[in-house]
Amino acid sequence: MMYTTQMDAAKKGIITKEMEIVAKKENMDVNILRELISKGKVAIPANKNHKSLNPEGVGENLRTKINVNLGISKDCCDIDEEMKKVNLALDMKAEAIMDLSSFGKTKEFRKKLISSSNAMIGTVPIYDAVGFYDKELKDITAKEFLDVVRNHANDGVDFVTVHAGINKETASVFKRNKRLTNIVSRGGSLMYAWMELNQRENPFYEYFDELLDICEEYDLTLSLGDALRPGSINDSSDACQIKELMILGELTLRAWKRNVQVIIEGPGHMSLDEIESNMLLEKKLCHGAPFYVLGPIVTDIAPGYDHITSAIGGALAASYGADFLCYVTPAEHLRLPNLDDVKEGIIATKIAAHAADIAKKIPKSRDIDNQMSKARQELDWEKMFELAIDPQKARRYRKESTPKHDDSCTMCGKMCSMRNMNKIMSGKDLNLLRADN
């Protein structure tokens, strides 16, 4: 039986090779996975032209996935340097990479990225439009915006962020409700500016059916962007954000009717006490579609440490139902991240995702923690390094301050609780002052 997309196959009762791979990774019955895909609660972004892809599922009852943003810009357009970040992200097993390139040889970088990456690849086509056509934003036509999406889809991109929810109706709500930080989404601000400059409806909203044609042809997953996500904790959960979420929910149903997979993008900046209600509201208004969040960043005063503020919010968000975390690096709000920033961002986000999986009781999520605890109890340093999320750093810290006795560290020495409990529990003498072991 023929099918057009993963969702189409799922509705027809067909189990695809991508479903089989994801089910095995998730320790899940493939028929349960297929049912979740048929209902839109899980997406497997897998463009037909991305031949090197090792597919992942995003959504209900699955492990929390992480995304790494990178790409060339006008100020930093070194493709080789960005590919180093790509290789680092792949080595650290990030499930997704988003190419946010906005200047220069974007197509060259995108094709190189797709051909070398087994992670799913996302893009934001509106970033590429100005450079692609060498036109000012105002002069780009609705058809040209759609053609950029098609170009990315043809290259093999697995999901695209499209800010279709900021239509005239949503924009009017924004104009009536003053914000501290206005519109902070780069793509959202560009789309709003185009609408204002041309006094036209958002082309991605007006021609949403044509957009779905492209998605259906390539099995391109739509990541419905949150143009009005809060860019400060002052603006979170306001009328602008909620109105757009309602529009995204309507667009989700239209996409599902065409068997197009959907991921919903969410905040943003948000105080801790609002995160749970926002996750519940998104799932309700968007009919259980997978939810992809940037952070949330839980305080606005930590430039240089936003990988931490983001990880705090991300862990909480994912524990309450977010399915996909976009990493944030220490360079957020300051500059393009370098290689070290990328590593710090990935590690912080992986910690958040794993902590949430434990809270969500994802099958086998605790296994590695129990293995680490056993290695600590046995004072098996090599095993601890092997299990660590960053083995290099753990090994370096141990090496930088070497204890006199291997069965301890320089914090506690012979007062190490693990060492002493092992001795006492096995009936041995305890020697804190004597020179012998």
pLDDT at 433 (0 to 100): 83
Ligand-binding annotation for 333, yes or no, is: yes
Query: Which residues have a Cβ under 8 Å from the Cβ of 66 and sit 6 or more positions away?
Result: 94, 95, 96, 324, 325, 326, 327, 346, 349, 350, 353
Residue holding tokens 């003053």? 178
pLDDT at 437 exceeding the cut of 70: no
pLDDT in tens, 302-332: 999 999 999 999 999 999 999 999 999 999 9
Residue holding tokens 């950029």? 148
Domain final residue, candidates 359, 382, 404: 359
Ligand-binding annotation for 163, yes or no, is: yes
pLDDT at 116 (0 to 100): 93
CATH code, 114: 3.20.20.540
Residue 413 forms part of a structural domain? yes
d(CA 161, CA 255): 14
Residue 136 forms part of a structural domain? yes
Ligand-binding annotation for 227, yes or no, is: yes
Ligand-binding annotation for 69, yes or no, is: yes
pLDDT band at 76 (very low <50, low <70, confident <90, very high): confident
Same domain, 382 and 351: no
Chain mean position to CA 111: 21
DSSP 8-state secondary structure symbol assigned to residue 43? E
Same domain, 107 and 140: yes
Q: Where in the sequence is the domain holding 294, given as residue range(s)?
A: 6-359
Same domain, 293 and 272: yes
Count of structural domains, the chain: 2
Same domain, 182 and 269: yes
Query: Which residues have a Cβ under 8 Å from the Cβ of 118 and sit 6 or more positions away?
Result: 52, 53, 54, 90
Residue 24 forms part of a structural domain? yes
DSSP 8-state secondary structure symbol assigned to residue 102? -
DSSP 8-state secondary structure symbol assigned to residue 333? T
Ligand-binding annotation for 405, yes or no, is: no
Residue holding tokens 């606005």? 300
pLDDT in tens, 278-288: 999 999 999 99
pLDDT at 364 exceeding the cut of 80: yes
Pair 190, 202: CB distance under 8 Å: no
pLDDT in tens, 63-75: 999 999 999 888 8
Residue 294 forms part of a structural domain? yes
Same domain, 292 and 373: no
Exposure of 287 in the CB half-sphere (CA atoms within 13 A) = 19
Domain final residue, candidates 328, 359, 390: 359
Beta bridge mates, 252: none
Ligand-binding annotation for 323, yes or no, is: no
Residue 406 forms part of a structural domain? yes
Share of the chain above pLDDT 70, in %: 100
Same domain, 350 and 387: no
Same domain, 392 and 258: no
Same domain, 59 and 202: yes
Same domain, 261 and 345: yes
Ligand-binding annotation for 127, yes or no, is: yes
pLDDT in tens, 205-247: 999 999 999 999 999 999 999 999 999 999 999 999 999 999 9
Same domain, 230 and 164: yes
d(CA 162, CA 197): 19
Ligand-binding annotation for 70, yes or no, is: no
Ligand-binding annotation for 286, yes or no, is: no
DSSP 8-state secondary structure symbol assigned to residue 401? S
Ligand-binding annotation for 226, yes or no, is: yes
Exposure of 361 in the CB half-sphere (CA atoms within 13 A) = 0
Ligand-binding annotation for 229, yes or no, is: yes
pLDDT at 435 exceeding the cut of 80: no
Least confident of 56-60, 131-135, 192-196, 350-354: 131-135
d(CA 188, CA 126): 9
Ligand-binding annotation for 154, yes or no, is: no
Same domain, 136 and 155: yes
Ligand-binding annotation for 367, yes or no, is: no
Domain final residue, candidates 359, 381, 396: 359
Backbone angles phi, psi at 159, to 5 degrees: -145, 150
pTM for the structure as a whole? 0.95
Ligand-binding annotation for 185, yes or no, is: yes
Average pLDDT of the chain?
A: 96
pLDDT in tens, 401-423: 988 888 888 999 889 999 999 99
pLDDT in tens, 165-190: 999 999 999 999 999 999 999 999 99
